[in-house]
Structure 1
Amino acid sequence: MLTQAQLSCRQADRQRHDLNKNDTKYWGVIHLTSLDLSKPPICLMYLPFLLVLWCTFDAFIWKNGRYSEVPPLELDSTDYEGSIIIIGAGPAGISAAYTLEYFGFRNYQILEAKEEIGGRVQEMDDFIDIPLDLGAEWIHTHPRILQDMILFNDTVTEETIVYRPERYRQVLGDRVKVPLPLRWLFYREWKFKSTTWKSYLNDYMHTYVQDRVQLNTPVTTIDYTGAKIQVTTAAGDTLEADKVILAVPPTMLKNGRIEYVPDLPTAKTTEIDKVVPYEGFKIWFEFDEQFYKDYTILDSYRIYFDGVFEKPTGRNVLTMLSAGGAETSDLIKLSDEELFEFHMNELDTIFRGKASEHYIQHRVQNWSKEPFIEESWEAGYTPPFHQGTILQPVDDKIYFAGAYLNEPHFASVHGAILSGRQVAQKVLLDAT
């Protein structure tokens, strides 16, 4: 039988043992010294199974999945006899008009402030031998959505590519390193092969509504006090309509460029203010040699990427995308030439003078300075964000559309297109 002293000693030993169990070093030693090296680790035993699982995931989920279905149409036709003005001829505005056309409604017009349609969906076809997207260029879902968004009997013929860069570099201060492969294991997007988002918008939607678009017509005032909405343009013209669809960037809703009579409800402006538009720009550099990788990461907001990755051209184009962040906020204040010089110096530092050695030409698109746009894209919103509050019309007269109002496809071109479709249907449904 153990004495009280022996019991006390054993209890003390047990306490020390319990403390050691929680000590990382203790468990590290026990683990290493107790390994049975005659048996392979469990992770290696299951490696073949994991590889098969990954290949299955890659083939079926990425190539055929990651796709939110396009919502079905909510009506077949309309007998609405009112009038509609759409303000903004970007993807959302053009899509709204395209949807109205599909339902046989033609008493509408589109007022666009700029000299061409598209908003941030633009292209340049005079830089190299194929057109390049000046603004949005990624297809942030499976490309079959391009056909699913078509309402008439058109067949989309645009070819797309799987955008999955294989060669990465990350710049940390004055050091260039390769990021961990796992960081990019699940990354995949799609892009147009030899066309652009602008050509898609032109070929399949704008062609149906082009005779209803009035360019170079900025709107200054929307007065909805009476039975009819009075829309005043910068030229002093006043147009009347029963309904208005506002399909302009959130920055244009925030900066007071359009006056509302009376003011928009506080609940609505509060939610609009929660949308976070990113400042930003893009720069394209053509070189006579590809000395850069597919993707060079500077930080969360600034990247260099191969601008013609997998595209049918023999030219070498490196694209700089800067959107959001403190450094972008400073850089957008520079002139186009200053932006070019800053980034050429940066590239020479990263690639040891090769940028200047192989330079041919460049192009700058500063979206933050672009009139009637003044932003690159909507990065998100400040929670809690009540999207439904913005989607509800003001006095059943003023409706809102845009990529920031399509939750499943937030801040994407197809999100803007689907938002325009949704709002156009809501206008017709509310009027019946």
Structure 2
Amino acid sequence: MVGRVMESLSQDPDVIVIGAGAAGLSAAKALRAAGLVTNVLEAANHVGGRCVTDTTTFSTPFDRGGSWMHSANINPLARQAEAVDARLHKTEWSLTAAHCFDRTLEGEDFADYSAYEDVIWNVASGVKEGTVDTTVDAALPFSPWKAPAKHLISTMDGADADMISLHDTAAYDWGDDSDWLVEGGYGAFVARMHADVPVKCGCPVTEIRHGGATPEVVTPEGTLSAEQVVVTVSTGVLGAERIRFEPSLPVDTLRAIDQLPNGLLNKVGIEFDPVWQEAVLGDRFDFHANSDQFVTLFFGFYGTGLATGFIGGRCADQLEQDGPGAATALCRDSLRSFFGSDIEKMILKTTETAWRSDPLTLGSYSYAKPGGAGARQMLATPVNDRLFFAGEATMPHSYSTVHGAWLSGQRVAQEILAVRSKGN
């Protein structure tokens, strides 16, 4: 999807927003509504960032990044979708089958595996005050099903259970735990919401100079200056220093970036012949090929023949390193294990993502290292009322989500307006 074209950048903007994902678009829309001249600079040739809908691969739109309106009862984007009468798909997925290593689970084994999933979420969402932070893995009780079931954490947080902060995970606000789909794709919906926000696509920022009288932003279009700069790029990009800051960012900001690495969740889209109905909307299948490889498959997106395999954490990183097709091969293995070899005849087309290899994201979304539960607030702290950081990584209770990114843009816009009102 090509972004709307900004014919020319304002040479005297009030604010420069770096990144046209949900956070950047949200901030820019609010700032423009308040009367501030706002330049939005996007390195990619499309808007949406990590929330982008592919409308060309399948007969059904496929969200390559964010797809679900998580925590729908408290999700402001769900309210906006309702306000414009967007068609919403509210069917919840539930575990239908699980295959662990060499067999498909049945009877008591399947019930025990499924029950341990509830244990995982109860542990991950219930932390007693005053306890020392540890990994989610260390907090999980023993079970014969712990080793395979804990892989579910990687498909939620983008990192494995032995890598992420228990306290940060517990801080996430699940709401009523409902996940909705919006007809046409989440990325397309977010783009429509912000259709009135001009964006300069294909305009990467290489340096931000914030030590002088007015911050300066270096781009291929030249050097621009503005009183405030909003940075919405991923922690992967920040951590890799793809944007140079002069002077260097404060120690606390750098520490926050280090404590919030960008995790990885890749997707494999699979379109089935409509005549195949062995798995439908609401069905979820877990497949553990071995102790290192796991995929969870969700079927029937939008009530169609579109399924999506979710692969996270170390497994996703390894498969991406293995090269194109490796993640898809794992999904095909899982389908044959559940449905037999004839399932191959029902597959019309596939695609896969590779977010770690994308130089503009270097991953999918952030996770907090153990001890890093306070890093999100730290990253969200403005630098000298000039640099403002937005994006899902700055949101303690809605990180890793599209609505969290959008809310961060709203927060930053209000912070900037407050700073400017004090100066007048």
TM-score with structure 1 length normalisation? 0.72
How far, CA to CA, are the matches of 1:164 and 1:327 in structure 2? 26
How far, CA to CA, are the matches of 1:252 and 1:292 in structure 2? 38
Which residue pairs with 1:240 in the alignment? 225
**1:204-283 → structure 2 map (5 Å cutoff):** 204=193, 206-210=194-198, 213-233=199-219, 235=220, 237-283=222-268
2:88 aligned partner, one-letter code: T
How far, CA to CA, are the matches of 1:86 and 1:145 in structure 2? 24
Once the 2 structures are TM-superposed, how far is the Cα of residue 195 of structure 1 from its aligned partner?
2.4
Which residue pairs with 1:197 in the alignment? 186
How far, CA to CA, are the matches of 1:243 and 1:250 in structure 2? 20
Which residue pairs with 1:284 in the alignment? 269
How far, CA to CA, are the matches of 1:402 and 1:243 in structure 2? 16
How far, CA to CA, are the matches of 1:223 and 1:237 in structure 2? 13
397, 400, 407: which is aligned to 1:411? 400
1:38-58 superposed Cα distances (whole Å, 9 cap, x missing partner)? xxxxxxxxxxxxxxxxxxxxx
Matched, 1:303 2:295: yes
Matched, 1:360 2:348: yes
1:10-34 superposed Cα distances (whole Å, 9 cap, x missing partner)? xxxxxxxxxxxxxxxxxxxxxxxxx
Contact 1:138 1:189 in 2 (8 A): no
Which residue pairs with 1:90 in the alignment? 21
Contact 2:72 2:78 in 1 (8 A): no
Which residue pairs with 1:123 in the alignment? 53
Larger relative CO (CA 8 A, sep 6+): 1 or 2? Answer: 2
1:131-154 superposed Cα distances (whole Å, 9 cap, x missing partner)? 22111111111257346775xx99
Distance of aligned partners of 1:385 and 1:304 in 2 relative to their CA distance in 1, 3 Å threshold: closer
1:165-188 superposed Cα distances (whole Å, 9 cap, x missing partner)? 245212211111153254577995
Once the 2 structures are TM-superposed, how far is the Cα of residue 344 of structure 1 from its aligned partner?
2.3
53, 63, 79: which is aligned to 1:133? 63
Uncovered stretches (5+) of structure 1, i.e. residues with no partner: 1-80
Once the 2 structures are TM-superposed, how far is the Cα of residue 256 of structure 1 from its aligned partner?
1.1
How far, CA to CA, are the matches of 1:160 and 1:149 in structure 2? 11
1:341 aligned partner, one-letter code: A
How far, CA to CA, are the matches of 2:73 and 2:57 in structure 1? 26
Once the 2 structures are TM-superposed, how far is the Cα of residue 346 of structure 1 from its aligned partner?
4.2
How far, CA to CA, are the matches of 1:91 and 1:373 in structure 2? 14
1:44-92 superposed Cα distances (whole Å, 9 cap, x missing partner)? xxxxxxxxxxxxxxxxxxxxxxxxxxxxxxxxxxxxx971100010000
Once the 2 structures are TM-superposed, how far is the Cα of residue 359 of structure 1 from its aligned partner?
2.2
Once the 2 structures are TM-superposed, how far is the Cα of residue 342 of structure 1 from its aligned partner?
4.3
Which residue pairs with 1:371 in the alignment? 359
Once the 2 structures are TM-superposed, how far is the Cα of residue 290 of structure 1 from its aligned partner?
3.7
Contact 2:13 2:225 in 1 (8 A): no
Aligned alpha-carbon RMSD (Å): 2.7
Distance of aligned partners of 1:149 and 1:267 in 2 relative to their CA distance in 1, 3 Å threshold: farther
Contact 2:393 2:400 in 1 (8 A): yes
Contact 2:60 2:306 in 1 (8 A): no
Uncovered stretches (5+) of structure 2, i.e. residues with no partner: 1-11, 122-175
Farther off after superposition, 244-253 or 180-189: 180-189
Contact 1:101 1:208 in 2 (8 A): no
Which residue pairs with 1:15 in the alignment? none
Task: Name the SS of the counterpart of 1:424 in structure 2.
Answer: helix
Task: Name the SS of the counterpart of 1:252 in structure 2.
Answer: helix
How far, CA to CA, are the matches of 1:221 and 1:380 in structure 2? 26
Distance of aligned partners of 1:338 and 1:389 in 2 relative to their CA distance in 1, 3 Å threshold: closer
TM-score with structure 2 length normalisation? 0.73
User: Computing the radius of gyration over CA atoms, which structure comes out larger, 1 or 2?
Assistant: 1
Task: Name the SS of the counterpart of 2:48 in structure 1.
Answer: coil
Matched, 1:168 2:96: yes
